[in-house]
Amino acid sequence: MYIGVTYETATVEERACVSLDKAQKDELKETLRTHLSIKAFAIITTCNRTEIYFESAVVTPHDIQELLITHVENRHQIKLSKNVFTTFDQSIDTVNHLLHVANGLRSAVIGDKQIIHQVKASYLDALNHGNQGSLLERAFQAVFRSHKRVSSESLYRQGSTSTAYSSLKMTEKYVGKVAIKHQKVLIIGAGEIAEDVLKYLPKFPVSEVFIANRTQEKAQKLANRFEAQTYEWRH
């Protein structure tokens, strides 16, 4: 079964409320194990989605929805609408959704290459903690086989399939190919998307590049790798 909040159903503010850092993710996993007695589950959390895939004979997506709403309302002191959730209680619907997500068909940038790595990380996390379950195990293996076939047997992976690259192309189109040479770029954050932007930036000859991050050390490390400058987060 499945329950999720994605950019397709929720605003940025609503998604932020169910976004999970490592500590919150660990807390949710413990709650799923102890309070709901779910032994098999995988959690995928990205900037665009927070999703839980699970197998159980007694627990429903509605049960997890109530748990998440209570958690969000207690932590953030807001009311979270049930309309932001998508749920599936049938295996076929759940697996089809996972196949679509993993192959980038549900991404903001269709064909996004990054999501498969996030799906694999979620699977490996479940595997490392013994939470993969028999049905989920087969579902994820089907996903990895399909992704390999899509990549090798179709033209689907050709072209721009990166949020970072698409963002830079949009920026270039907005300011113009000539004017972009005189622009300064400020990258806020030092995560995977920021790193992707820095990898693609040599194709776009901007004048200067700055990185600002809450943790100065992470910003400096990234700046050193890509010959950029850091910018004070407090400014």
List Cβ neighbours of 234 (8 Å cut-off, separation of 6 or more).
none
List Cβ neighbours of 201 (8 Å cut-off, separation of 6 or more).
168, 185, 209, 226
Geometric angle at alpha carbon 207, from 203 and 210, rounded to 5°: 90
Q: Per DSSP, what are the bridge partners of residue 41?
A: 54
CA distance 47 to 45: 7
In a 13 Å sphere around the CA of 54, the CA atoms on its Cβ side amount to 24
Question: Among this protein's residues, is 47 annotated catalytic?
Answer: yes
CA distance 202 to 199: 7
| Letter string b/e over residues 39-71, b meaning 16 or more CB atoms within 10 A of that residue's CB | ebbbbbbbbbbbbbbbbbeebebebbbebbbeb
Nearest to 32 by CA among 42, 44, 20: 42
- Which of the following is catalytic: 18, 28, 42, 47? 47
List active site positions: 47
